[in-house]
Amino acid sequence: MSIKKKATQGSIWMSLTRTGINVVDFLVYAYLARILTLEEFGLAGFCFLFVEFTNTLVNAGVNQNLVQRKEWTDRYAASTMTFVAFMGLMASGVLVGIGAPIAFYNYSELAAYVIISLAPITFITSLQVVVTGKLLREFKNKQMGMAKFAATLLSASAIIIMAELGYGIWALIIGKLINVCLQYLFLLYVSRVKLAFNIDKDNFRELITFCLPLFWMVVLRFLNKKASNLFTGLILGPISFALLAAANKAEVVINQVTMSSINSMVVPSFSRVKESSDTGGLFIKLVSVTSLIVTPIFMGLAAIADPFVTIAFGDKFAESAEFMMISSFTVFSLVIVTFLPNLLISKGKTKDAFNLTLVSIISSIATAGCTIWFGVTTMLYSIVIVAFLVMPIKIAIVKRHIDIDIKKLFVSLVPSFFSSLAMFAIVMASKSYIEYFFNNDVVTLALAIILGGISYLAVSFTIFYPQSKRQLNELTTMFRK
């Protein structure tokens, strides 16, 4: 089977299993949003930020290193296991020693206990790195995805049962611990990896050389993604944090299912593309096909934000709808720049991949830090605008190593961009009439989704028929065995 077919099937399975995982996660999230107070909900989300951060540290470029190596050796895998286990132990210590005191002084004693209780997650996650690296290298996304989905399903059941028994916020904490433990055991089973530890200075040196630029890159990438949430939680408090987190939840789920799934296959697929191949042209095809799927979903979400938020999270989260609509417009820049760092990593250009992330983090932190004082709405509008302004800088960095035809790139995106905006305008203009005649959020949501799908296809195949047909053929060719 060709690399293209393996990468495509890997992306499909990654997307399918992530869809299942994120649907289950979203349902649990919506359930807890209704039974917890806004303050409890915000507190839990803020504490999880610390855990997410330490989890990024233990997997900083290690997976990419294992995937892009020409040969897999058990000795090198054992050295990597030792390296990441030590990193996981250190990161868990940072959670307890630094994260807990910060949570205590900024929030409460309960927040500190929550952080301490979640610390083992980071160490257990570190033990998964070599296992997932081997599965990704062998394109065993199906097995990996099924293992993670099974763990998510079982832990979600545990969370709901404990919540019904009155454990409150602790139902979520215990459920997360159950999830990471089950996930590790299931991944071990499907990978057949034999656990071993080894100390080899040469292997450690190779790991450090490859991963150090990526270490800072993933740290900065995390801060880039979470800058708005961090500033909101620290400055405006847990209630505003909860409202923003709810607004971001659907977008995160969509991103995980679509762009993140595809992005995870960029390094293993592009790193094996022949030097004579047109990497820039392949990148343009990847972006245009991704936009064909992702852009209308994000703009559709923006159009139906009001009824969606009310149905999913309850009336107390109504303010989140405006946040959700504004944030959705980042898709127009996101669909172009998302794959750029991994594209450079696939060619071994980790330093410039780091520079890309540095541009993102500087712009995100500066924007969020300067505008959060004027409210969440102002901050979100500013983030959308700045994302467009820094996009040319990111493309210029990539063009040092990979020839990308900018005109061809943007021409390929016109059909999906224009059709999505037209769909958004049609649904927004019609939504008030639907609400007036039916006066029911569920009916309004259903009819708005149907209208959005029809209008997107109508605009795409009426105004941009040749381009849309070509991109659709490209999409079906990728999925066809």
| pLDDT score of 381 | 94
| pLDDT score of 264 | 59
Cβ atoms within 10 Å of 430's Cβ, excluding its own: 16
CB 131 within 8 A of CB 191: yes
340 vs 210, residue with greater confidence: 340
Share of the chain above pLDDT 70, in %: 83
CB 284 within 8 A of CB 359: no
Closest CA to 44 of 32, 55, 56, 53: 32
Q: How far apart are CA 136 and CA 159, in angstroms?
A: 29
pLDDT in tens, 189-200: 887 777 667 776
Which residues, 6 or more positions from 235, have their beta carbon under 8 angstroms from its beta carbon? Answer: 372, 373
| pLDDT score of 64 | 65
273 vs 377, residue with greater confidence: 377
Q: Band the pLDDT of 480: cuts 50, 70, 90.
A: low
Lowest mean pLDDT among 5-19, 112-126, 422-436: 5-19
pLDDT in tens, 230-287: 888 878 877 888 888 888 887 877 777 676 666 655 555 555 555 546 677 778 888 8
Q: What is the mean pLDDT of residues 313-333?
A: 89
pLDDT in tens, 290-305: 888 889 999 999 999 9
Crossing angle of the two packed helices 279-303 and 320-328, in degrees rounded to 10: 150
Q: How far apart are CA 472 and CA 291, in angstroms?
A: 11
Q: Taking the C-alpha atoms of 88, 92, 94 and 95 in order, what is their torsion angle to the nearest 10 degrees?
A: 140
Q: Band the pLDDT of 68: cuts 50, 70, 90.
A: low
| pLDDT score of 478 | 54
Question: Is the per-residue pLDDT at 220 higher than 80?
Answer: no
pLDDT in tens, 85-98: 888 888 888 888 88
Q: Band the pLDDT of 450: cuts 50, 70, 90.
A: very high
Q: What is the mean pLDDT of residues 116-139?
A: 81
Q: How far apart are CA 358 and CA 345, in angstroms?
A: 15
**Which tokens sit at 444?**
């309004």
pLDDT in tens, 412-443: 888 889 999 999 999 999 988 888 788 888 88
Question: Is the per-residue pLDDT at 78 higher than 60?
Answer: yes
Q: What is the mean pLDDT of residues 444-456?
A: 90
362 vs 204, residue with greater confidence: 362
pLDDT in tens, 22-52: 788 888 888 888 888 888 778 888 888 888 8
- Does the predicted model carry a pTM greater than 0.85? no
Q: What is the mean pLDDT of residues 165-173?
A: 86
**Strand ranges inside 254-332, DSSP E:** none
Q: What is the mean pLDDT of residues 162-168?
A: 86
CA 217, chain centre distance (Å): 15
Q: What is the mean pLDDT of residues 470-480?
A: 65
What's at 337, amino acid-wise? V
Residues in the chain, overall count:
481
Residue 236 is given by DSSP the state: I
Q: What is the mean pLDDT of residues 214-233?
A: 77
User: HSE-up of 367 (CA within 13 Å, CB side)?
Assistant: 28
| pLDDT score of 481 | 47
Q: Band the pLDDT of 12: cuts 50, 70, 90.
A: low
